Amino acid sequence: MFDTHELGRRPGALQRLSRTVEAPVDLGIDGVIGVPQGSPVELDLRLESVMEGVLVTGTARASAEGECVRCLEPLRQDVVADFQEMFSYPDTDDRGHRKAAADDDAEDDEDIMPLEDGMFDLEPVLRDAVVLALPMQPVCREDCAGLCAECGANLNENPDHHHDAVDIRWAALQGLAGSLGTDEKDNMSGAEAGVDEKQEK
Ligand SMILES: [Zn+2]
Ligand SMILES: [Zn+2]
């Protein structure tokens, strides 16, 4: 939560502040990449008092952790997220008028970030901005070679790694045969033998 009391309600008043906060839970893209909970997030904020509330413009800087989608190695990546959000004084809409009955502006409520007793909650704004700034498909580096599709070897560590094209197909077939196991093979030949016996009768 941030306090706007120092800023005051006089339109045009400006306040800049820098603060380092601990990352809230789930700051990122679930299961892909994110800023670990509790790690530092540097915030540079510009608060501007306007008629209907406080306009907050800012930048967040943090370090995100995830996994390369190509080679599956852990990766760490700096994230810089810009955001701007209007926090409105209670009981007024964005034109400064008194709000109508609560059930009339249910849709508007989703867009309006409230100022409560001069305080605003930056967390949802921060979360949206960081998610937008993060890659959906993070890679450890742009030219990451990824893993061998046949055997899973890391091609970054083994740049000369390759399989002969014909050998790859044989290896796949051999792998398939091996996975069936001896018992299943015996069952199959037994079934075939049974069919043969019936046909003979
Ligand atoms: Zn990679
Ligand atoms: Zn391979």
Q: Summarize pLDDT for 147-162 with one digit per residue, the tens.
A: 999 999 999 999 999 8
Mean of the pLDDT values across residues 37-49? 97
The residue among 8 and 148 whose pLDDT is bigger is 148
In the prediction, which pLDDT does 106 show? Answer: 47
Dihedrals phi, psi of 103, to nearest 5 degrees: -75, -10
- CB-proximal residues (5 Å) to ion ligand 2: 148, 150-151, 153
Ligand nearest to C-alpha 70: 1
The residue among 187 and 136 whose pLDDT is bigger is 136
pLDDT digits (tens, 9 = 90+) for 98-155: 554 444 444 555 678 889 888 999 999 999 999 999 999 999 999 999 999 999 999 9
In the prediction, which pLDDT does 159 show? Answer: 92
Instruction: Compute the distance from residue 108 Cα to the ligand 1 centre, in Å.
Output: 43
Instruction: Compute the distance from residue 107 Cα to the ligand 1 centre, in Å.
Output: 43
Instruction: Kindly tell me if the per-residue pLDDT of 188 is higher than 70.
Output: no
In the prediction, which pLDDT does 65 show? Answer: 97
Ligand nearest to C-alpha 167: 2
Q: What is the chain's mean pLDDT, rounded?
A: 82
Instruction: Compute the distance from residue 151 Cα to the ligand 1 centre, in Å.
Output: 16
- Which of 176, 145, 149, 179 is CA-nearest to residue 165? 149
Instruction: Compute the distance from residue 176 Cα to the ligand 2 centre, in Å.
Output: 17
Instruction: Kindly tell me if the per-residue pLDDT of 57 is higher than 90.
Output: yes
| DSSP, residue by residue, 150-172 | TT--BTTT-TT----HHHHHHHH
In the prediction, which pLDDT does 117 show? Answer: 87
Alpha-carbon Rg for the chain in angstroms: 30
Ligand nearest to C-alpha 73: 1
Instruction: Kindly tell me if the per-residue pLDDT of 73 is higher than 90.
Output: yes
